[in-house]
Every structure is written in C-alpha cells, then in structure tokens.
C-alpha cells in the first residue's frame, strides 16, 4: 500500500473507532453528560433548571418525595399526569441510572443539580459496598430504595435525603418513619 492510501485507511479507522466509542459513551453516560452540560451552560442556573437538565425531565411535570426509613430511605418520583408517559418513562430511566450510579459511588448528578456536594455523600461513597440501591418501577414513575445494615451509612443516607427534602421543598418528614 502506498503512503497516501495507508493514511486514508488510518483516518477512516480512527473515525470509526471514534464513532464506536462515542456511541458507547453516549449510551452509558447519557445522564452524566446532561448534568455536566446543565452546569456548564450557565453556572447561575436555578436549582430547578439544573434539575431539569441533569435529570432529563421537567420538574414541573413530576413530584419528588424523599422518605427516611429506619434501614435507609426512598427516592420517589412520579409523573403528575397519569397520561404523561413521556415524563413517566424519563423518570424511570433517570432513577434506574441513579441506582446504578450511586451503587458505583457516582453522585455527580445531585452535586450538579444542587451546585454543591450534598451532606452524607462522602460517607455514602466510602461505604458504597455496604449500601444497597434498588430501582423499582411504580405506576407513574419509579423509586430507588436505599438500605444498609451499617449504622454510619444509614446516618449518611438520612443526611442526604433530608438535604433533598429541604432543597426540593417536598414537605416530607425529616425523621425516619
């Protein structure tokens, strides 16, 4: 093969590898990219605007609840309108991603949404092997059930969820039920 032909094939191969990597990264990093983009577009965005971008659905069309339980807690998000299957499906995709990301110690989305590291996150990262995150579909959305047998991890979970309650102004109880 002559040098020009080798160069063309190298360029084509590099482009194909780039496309394959970009596609794989897009499939796995959809929410992370959304959350980073939300913060980079305008660091002065409101929490709601950052949440819309980072979570991938309109906050005004959904209702969040953060419930503290003796063994951990629950993050619950529901589409307000039962006919709004688009929001329901976006919520489910987001929460399934959150359960997986949190289990891996990745709390980028809540940090971008709130423009700070929420309380409890450092210990939740450190004790990630002692915390379970289970995504469950609900009729109009989904929830992530968070549980741990470790007392310090449960305190961190409660700190994290209490912060979410205050930030999202859900009115949920700040004590474990």
For residue 143, what are the domain limits?
Answer: 1-177
Tens of pLDDT along 112-169?
A: 765 788 899 999 999 999 999 999 999 999 999 999 999 999 999 999 999 999 988 9
Q: What percent of the chain has pLDDT over 70?
A: 66
Q: Against a cut of 0.95, is the pTM above it?
A: no
Average pLDDT over all residues of the chain: 79
CA dist 162 → 34, 93, 130, 155 (Å): 25, 23, 20, 10
How many folded domains does the chain comprise?
Answer: 1
* 100 pLDDT higher than 50: yes
The whole-number pLDDT of residue 148 equals 98
As a whole number of angstroms, the distance between CA 111 and CA 114 comes to 5
* pLDDT for res 59: 80
């Amino acid at each position: 093969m002559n040098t020009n032909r080798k160069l063309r094939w190298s360029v084509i191969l590099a482009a194909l590898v780039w496309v394959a990597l970009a596609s794989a990264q897009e499939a796995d990093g959809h929410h992370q990219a959304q959350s980073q983009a939300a913060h980079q577009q305008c660091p002065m965005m409101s929490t709601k605007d950052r949440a819309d971008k980072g979570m991938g659905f309109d906050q005004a069309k959904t209702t969040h609840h953060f419930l503290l339980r003796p063994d951990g807690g629950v993050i619950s998000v529901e589409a307000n309108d039962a006919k709004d299957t688009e929001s329901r499906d976006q919520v489910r995709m987001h929460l399934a991603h959150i359960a997986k990301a949190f289990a891996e110690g990745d709390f980028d989305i809540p940090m971008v949404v709130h423009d700070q590291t929420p309380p409890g996150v450092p210990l939740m990262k450190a004790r990630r092997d002692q915390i379970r995150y289970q995504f469950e579909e609900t009729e109009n959305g989904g929830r992530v059930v968070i549980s741990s047998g470790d007392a310090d991890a449960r305190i961190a979970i409660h700190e994290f969820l209490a912060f979410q309650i205050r930030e999202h102004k859900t009115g949920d109880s700040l004590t474990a039920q």
